[in-house]
Amino acid sequence: MALQQEFEVQGNFLFKYRSHLPLVLLPIAFWVISYMIQRSPQLFSTSDLTLLEILAIASCLLGLLIRIFTVGYTPKNTSGRNTAQGQVADRVNTTGIYSIVRHPLYLGNYFMWLGIAILTGELWFLIAFTMGYWVYYERIMYAEEQFLTNKFGNIYSTWAAKTPAFIPAFTKWDNPDLSFSWKKVLKKEKNGLFAIFLLVFIFNCWTQWLSTGDYMTQKTWSLYVMVATGVLYFILKFIKSGTTWLDEEGR
């Protein structure tokens, strides 16, 4: 199989399972923390919000904001979380954040997962994560671009030729065609905030167990925020499945 075909096959496979395969990062991060807590226990010992946690949460929230900004301005059947049905695109998004970067959702994902990597407090792990993320998503981006090129031809190729793949070119900004839709954001991105603080809480429980043998973290703030965002998530999930409040024509 030619390398281009192999990249596309691998990319389509990774695209289908892109919401689950990155979870492999978590047990590795837990192992790194168990090593770091022996070498630098001061990074994890305080019951207050640490600088490490502030940086991690800030990175996660930046990634979530990028995703929210992207999804809020896009029409239906673009920039979605579709997995089982494979690639879906009714049009090429070229304005708004798509005028400065071709894959803003994957850029957002990077910062969200980078935040989890930051929680380990280990620089080499951040570097290894970044390199692994690039190899992983490079194939996904390749397969996605092959699909879009085959479907939209010159429309996609012309836009892609002037728009960087992953590092935004802010000087190329073009205002979005559509207004911002909070309904679509709440419908599509409802799990992001809860996932961030659930993982922060789990990491705090893990470090507490490594330090004292007690699973319950002393950082009660992480418990309260996790519960609050969890309640919000289940409320939005109920609204999405049980009502039409978040439905919006064309979005």
Q: Are 90 and 77 in contact (CB under 8 A)?
A: yes
Weakest-pLDDT range from 17-21, 133-137, 222-226, 231-235: 17-21
- The structure's pTM equals 0.91
Name the percent of the chain lying above pLDDT 90: 61
Residue 249: per-residue pLDDT: 87
Query: Residue 106: its pLDDT value, please?
Result: 95
Please say if the pLDDT value at position 238 is more than 90.
yes
Q: Answer yes or no: is pLDDT of 157 > 70.
A: yes
Walk me through the domains of the chain, giving residue ranges and CATH numbers: 3-181 (1.20.120)
Residue 174 CB contacts under 8 Å (≥ 6 apart), including other chains: 94, 95, 96, 99
The token pair at 205 is: 């429980």
Task: Give the residue-averaged pLDDT of 91-120.
Answer: 95
As a whole number, mean pLDDT of residues 30-59 equals 84
Tokens of 154: 């010159």
SS3 19: coil
The rounded mean pLDDT for the chain is 89
Length of the chain (residues): 251
Mean pLDDT of 135-139: 91
Return the pLDDT at 130.
Answer: 95
Any idea what the Cα angle at residue 96 is, between residues 103 and 83, rounded to 5°? Answer: 40
Q: Which of 101, 80, 66 lies closest to 19 in space, CA to CA?
A: 80
pLDDT recorded at residue 116:
93
Q: Report residue 10's pLDDT band, with 50, 70 and 90 as the boundaries.
A: confident
pLDDT class for 14, splitting at 50, 70, 90?
confident
Q: How far apart are CA 59 and CA 151, in angstroms?
A: 35
Q: What is the pLDDT of residue 191?
A: 93
Per-residue pLDDT of 164-219, as tens digits, reads 999 999 999 999 999 999 999 999 999 999 999 999 999 999 988 888 878 787 88
* pLDDT of amino acid 195: 95
- Whole-angstrom CA distances from 126 to 56, 103, 111, 112 are 11, 21, 11, 13
Residue 83 has pLDDT above 70, yes or no: no
